[in-house]
Structure 1
Amino acid sequence: MENLAVKKVFDFSLLRRIFTFAAPYKRALYLSVAMTVIFAVISPLRPYLIQVTVDKYIANQLMKMLVTVTIVQIALLAVETVVRFYFSYLTNWLGQSVVKDLRVTVYKKIVHLNLAFFDKTPIGTLTTRTVNDIEAINDVFSEGIISIVSDLLTILAILVVMFIEDWRLTLVSLSPFPILIFATYVFKESVNKSFYRVRNAVSALNAFVQEHLTGMVVVQAFTSEKREFARFKHINKEHRKANIDAIFAYSVFFPVVEIILAISLGLMVWWGSNKVLNYEVTQGVMIAFIMYLNMLFRPLRMLADKFNTLQMGMVASERVFKILDNQDYIPDRGHEKGNKMKGAITFDHVHFAYVDDRYVLKDITFHANPGDTVAIVGHTGSGKTTIISILNRLYEIQKGSIKIDGIELPAYSLEALRSRIGVVLQDVFLFSGSIYDNITLHNKAITREQVEEASRLIGIHDFIMQLPGGYDYQVMERGSTLSLGQRQLISFVRALLYDPAILVLDEATSSVDTESEMMIQQAIDKLIADRTAVIIAHRLSTISKADKIIVLDKGEIKEMGTHEELLKLEGFYYKLHSMQFNANKV
């Protein structure tokens, strides 16, 4: 699993890339930046007006002007409140809009990645990237760079006004600032490390929980609950410790800031009171400086925290961009549509390896005519499933060529190729939702009448109609409320509706009872009629009528022929058949 190291350098190129996703929302971005300038201008005005009120209007008992300036103060406060609300809303709206677009972009990328990517990447990690990490990018806009710029401009404006008013009093008031800068740096570094640990722990938790919930049947079957629970507690403990460390840093930092603010105020009062008594500083300036210091320390309190938030948003974006930059996908440059595909299959000296040059298929060569039924048999790990994976280009071959109707696979567009090859896997996956949606896969071009007609042909219509709601019956995740045989038959209906030219069946009857096998075998006979069929068979009795049987062993074709021809050879197929025959007799 990926583990992130703490980075010290702020990556501006990464920040620029994040903001490219804000390009469609330039108006909102520019408006929010304009508001940061408004904040910088407004912030020093209220203390200055109070200073003028005390020194001019109260001191000279100008009550009429006092009422006027009070109304101006209230109006200014109302304007600042409205602007601050709109700024908060706008930056969050901008962040969520970018998150929405980015999540769509990332998910689109993920669904087009090569299956080899999913072989080596935990699903929980991808979930973290698509949900948690992208959500963290929202903070770059809502609490990150725009908010930081606003605070910095506000601080700069207040400091300028303070120095203009009285530079000596300003220097005295700000003399504890080196302590604050040092405390802020220590706080930022501490929280930054904790946040990195938190992100790593979240990713680990998501990956662990997703994997073990999916494989709960294995955990319980082998009584591994205590061991896996102990592992979960260890990961969860690290997540808690990382958060506690961050909380500790906050608990120390904020009181330290308050103490430094109190010291600054104390120094200001000590120095200023002498100047007031000597008529060198007015009372209004003293009151204004108290407000200036409070307004100065408020953004300083949060600046280090916002910077860490920005940094973590950038860390999350870096992880997300790694997915977007991933080039591990099948090139889709073909233009053949396959509308008139007949289903002739040719493997010509095909070699394939999942990793480097460790070939799991070696020099595979065979041909199937349109309408032929080709069965592939062999021991576990011989390469049977790999053949169907490369037939519809889920993986790319390293050597040789695969042709359908004399046209090499890369010449077909992926959508056209895969829509003309129907696949029924041994482990049928059903999504949460209705049976109808699982059959059509939300394809609105398929009508309910077509679904019912296909279900009758396969022989599962009556069973579906007995369920509560019929075709609208809600199956649970992975179809756990249905038997394996029922799920298999539903997958047959799904394959039949897409009317493929080539049908691939991956050990469709290997894990069902005899009664279900008979129903499935009848459905298979209907499915493969007038189609080229590639059947991966575990039970040899189901493929005796195949036009061609290919016997694989360690990725190589050892024998090829009809059932009768292979039995006469008394080779690999004969041994497999004898083993199953004797096992069935027992």
Structure 2
Amino acid sequence: MARNKFDVDEELEQEFNWSHYKRLAQYVKPYKSPILKALFVIILANVAGMLGPYFTKIAIDEVIPQGNLTLLMQLSVFFLISLLVIGWCMRYRIYAITEIGQDILKDMRYSIFEHLQRLPFSYFDNRPHGKILIRVVNYINTLSDLLSNGLINLISDIFNVIITLVFMFFIDVKLTLYSLLLLPILFVMVMVIKNKQRKAYQVLSNKQSNLNAYIHESISGIKITQSFAREEENYQIFNEVSEEYRTSWMKAVKVQFLLWPGVQNISVMTTCLIYFVGIRQLGVDVTTGTLIAFIGYINNFWNPVINIGNFYNSLITATAYLERIFETMDEVPDIQDEPDAQILPSIKGTVDFEHVTFRYEEGKNILNDVSFHISQGQSIALVGPTGAGKTTIINLLSRFYDVNEGSVKVDGFDVREVTLSSLRTQMGVMLQDTFVFSGTILDNIRYGKLDATEEEVIEAAKVVRAHEFIKDLKDGYHTVVEERGSTLSAGQRQLISFARALLADPKILILDEATSSIDTKTEELLQEGLQQLLKGRTSFIIAHRLSTIKNSSQIFYVEGGRIAEAGTHDELMAQRGLYHHLYQSQYDLLQVTD
């Protein structure tokens, strides 16, 4: 079976390096103050935790042999207070670090989503949307434990180790050195495991991305799947992709869990060593209280070491996901504001294409040396065969792409020299692929002008003849539509998109197959409103129904990347050229259909 984009592993264009953690630190920096507060509380808890074994040593070696009941009660009270302090600190720590971690994740998620909004169409055309979605949601969620618990706990555990070592050296230097004897084995183990673990999780992130992409594609195309009875084949493909994910997960987990038992075993061996050495020296260099206190401190020492090992595990695991997150953030938008871009002032609507040549890939020009001038208020119809360059013209005008040669100007301003926001906010665009967002119809129409009143929305809907069907819905303009407008017909979605574009009150209006899904009767009504609306506005109309463009100021017949014919409907019909042939073919087809 031929492999599709969803089940092809993505290759990293730039491998992760440790300097990337400086970027991660930039998300932590704004929360320095609450982090320091949490650290202070954690250190306080660590110090309080160190007092228990020390009180035990004093009680066994001095207080109990002396029969000093008063001092024993005082030690008990101090020990109880230390436990209460630890309990309060732990409660504060859990709440504080969880809140800080989630705030950091929110900031990261905002950064990647904001960056995605600025990436060009080509980025989304070349990738399954499921593979993009997983980076914004799943991969960042995977960092939750690392940032919520791991980061602050790491600093806490480092302090814990240092404080424990200070107490241990203070009590007995020789036993402390024995306690550190097996640490080199741990370091060797970590170095051996880390590379295998990182590679295993890189593979896992690819398989997780593939699975997510296929699920997303399957849900989006469920109507086609059921129409062609493809359920069984899709189930088989899903099984294969899911099995690859399960296998890679098991391999990654096997490698990850090698570290924890290793550290645990070294901890137990160290405790046994201290018992062996301590008992042999008991009554000579080591007291009973010292040995018992030391066993307590050994646990206090190795518990944070185990935690640091787990954090390192999480760090290596997270690295595989951070690589993908930062790879997305490092995507440079092909189209962005120049450093010295100026704000485009309120425009009148003149448009000039000056010797424009454009290509998506080298050696294959879509437009070849195209030049034309459009005056304010003119309506221009673009017709011609599929792939001739009609949509490319309006994409260059909206600066979804940049020209390779020549220039596109609006009111004399080169579109590359003005800010994208100031250019596009003065244009109303209705693309062939109509999109309706989940939410109310009112909000969908208001999408292009958020401050529009309900009356303005209704007026726009009336002009494009959408009002009739909207008012008949259960809740009228407040009717909630599902994702992609699945509860509406294709024609209804187009009318809503039309109203959205018109409500923005643009100086330049772009309609790409705007009436392709509207029935003939509705189209006739729509034309009445359009003729009134287009007055005073420059408009570009792409339509295969030639009846919708007969009244255009000019009609451009685009073929082979050039404007082969230009003129009014009557002028082009009189020439008996390409446009005449196209119009006559469509007219004859309608006659046959009738």
Name the TM-score, length of structure 1 as normaliser: 0.90
Change (3 A) 1:546 1:79: same
Residues 34-92 of structure 1 show CA distances to partners (whole Å, capped at 9, x for unaligned) of: 45544554443321221111111112221111111111111112222322332333333
Residues 471-517 of structure 1 show CA distances to partners (whole Å, capped at 9, x for unaligned) of: 00011111111111111111222222211122111112234433343
Which residue pairs with 1:335 in the alignment?
A: 342
> Residue 488 in 1 paired to residue 494 in 2?
yes
Change (3 A) 1:443 1:10: same
SS at 1:352 equivalent? strand
Residues 417-473 of structure 1 show CA distances to partners (whole Å, capped at 9, x for unaligned) of: 222221122221000000000000184421111112222232222321111111000
Residues 382-412 of structure 1 show CA distances to partners (whole Å, capped at 9, x for unaligned) of: 1111111111111111211222233332354
Which residue pairs with 1:584 in the alignment?
A: 590
SS at 1:354 equivalent? strand
Which residue pairs with 2:10 in the alignment?
A: 3
Q: Which moved more, 1:531-540 or 1:115-124?
A: 115-124
Paired residue total = 583
Distance (whole Å) between structure 2 residues aligned to residue 36 and residue 7 of structure 1 = 38
> Residue 295 in 1 paired to residue 296 in 2?
no
Which residue pairs with 1:549 in the alignment?
A: 555
Distance (whole Å) between structure 2 residues aligned to residue 355 and residue 417 of structure 1 = 26
> Residue 127 in 1 paired to residue 123 in 2?
no
Which residue pairs with 2:483 in the alignment?
A: 477
Which residue pairs with 1:304 in the alignment?
A: 309
Checking the alignment, whether the CA contact within 8 Å between 1:504 and 1:533 is kept in structure 2 is yes
Counterparts of 1:402-413 in structure 2 under 5 Å?
A: 402-413=408-419
Checking the alignment, whether the CA contact within 8 Å between 1:51 and 1:288 is kept in structure 2 is yes
Change (3 A) 1:191 1:64: farther
Distance (whole Å) between structure 1 residues aligned to residue 28 and residue 311 of structure 2 = 20
Distance (whole Å) between structure 2 residues aligned to residue 98 and residue 324 of structure 1 = 16
Change (3 A) 1:579 1:230: same
Checking the alignment, whether the CA contact within 8 Å between 1:330 and 1:393 is kept in structure 2 is no
> Could you tell me which of 55, 59, 65 is aligned with 2:61?
55
> Could you tell me which of 410, 419, 430 is aligned with 2:425?
419
Q: Which moved more, 1:48-57 or 1:149-158?
A: 149-158
> Residue 563 in 1 paired to residue 569 in 2?
yes
Which residue pairs with 1:465 in the alignment?
A: 471
Change (3 A) 1:176 1:457: closer
Which residue pairs with 1:285 in the alignment?
A: 290
Distance (whole Å) between structure 2 residues aligned to residue 173 and residue 220 of structure 1 = 66
Distance (whole Å) between structure 1 residues aligned to residue 405 and residue 443 of structure 2 = 39
Q: Which moved more, 1:470-479 or 1:98-107?
A: 98-107
> Residue 510 in 1 paired to residue 516 in 2?
yes
Which residue pairs with 2:3 in the alignment?
A: none
Change (3 A) 1:228 1:553: farther
> Residue 238 in 1 paired to residue 227 in 2?
no
TM-aligned CA deviation for residue 315 of structure 1: 4.6
Distance (whole Å) between structure 2 residues aligned to residue 495 and residue 5 of structure 1 = 39
TM-aligned CA deviation for residue 270 of structure 1: 3.0
Distance (whole Å) between structure 1 residues aligned to residue 15 and residue 298 of structure 2 = 31
Distance (whole Å) between structure 2 residues aligned to residue 99 and residue 85 of structure 1 = 22
Residues 103-131 of structure 1 show CA distances to partners (whole Å, capped at 9, x for unaligned) of: 33332222223333333343323322322
SS at 2:348 equivalent? coil
> Could you tell me which of 528, 533, 544 is aligned with 2:534?
528
Cα RMSD between the aligned structures? 2.9
TM-aligned CA deviation for residue 172 of structure 1: 4.5
> Residue 319 in 1 paired to residue 324 in 2?
yes
Residues 261-302 of structure 1 show CA distances to partners (whole Å, capped at 9, x for unaligned) of: 4433333333322322x4432111221122122222322333
SS at 1:431 equivalent? coil
Distance (whole Å) between structure 2 residues aligned to residue 577 and residue 64 of structure 1 = 109
Change (3 A) 1:351 1:288: same
Name the TM-score, length of structure 2 as normaliser: 0.89
TM-aligned CA deviation for residue 356 of structure 1: 3.9
> Could you tell me which of 393, 401, 408 is aligned with 2:399?
393
Change (3 A) 1:224 1:466: same
Distance (whole Å) between structure 2 residues aligned to residue 386 and residue 237 of structure 1 = 42
Which residue pairs with 1:436 in the alignment?
A: 442
> Residue 225 in 1 paired to residue 216 in 2?
no
Distance (whole Å) between structure 2 residues aligned to residue 569 and residue 134 of structure 1 = 62
Distance (whole Å) between structure 1 residues aligned to residue 181 and residue 508 of structure 2 = 81
Change (3 A) 1:436 1:346: same
Change (3 A) 1:489 1:206: same
Distance (whole Å) between structure 1 residues aligned to residue 368 and residue 256 of structure 2 = 61
SS at 2:281 equivalent? helix
Q: Which moved more, 1:287-296 or 1:524-533?
A: 524-533
Checking the alignment, whether the CA contact within 8 Å between 2:197 and 2:316 is kept in structure 1 is no
TM-aligned CA deviation for residue 175 of structure 1: 4.7
Amino acid at match of 2:288: Q
Stretches of structure 2 that go unaligned for 5 or more consecutive residues are 1-7
Change (3 A) 1:180 1:400: closer
TM-aligned CA deviation for residue 30 of structure 1: 2.6
Distance (whole Å) between structure 2 residues aligned to residue 355 and residue 160 of structure 1 = 66
Which residue pairs with 1:367 in the alignment?
A: 373
TM-aligned CA deviation for residue 213 of structure 1: 2.2
Q: Which moved more, 1:470-479 or 1:554-563?
A: 554-563
Distance (whole Å) between structure 2 residues aligned to residue 102 and residue 164 of structure 1 = 44
SS at 1:22 equivalent? helix
SS at 1:500 equivalent? coil
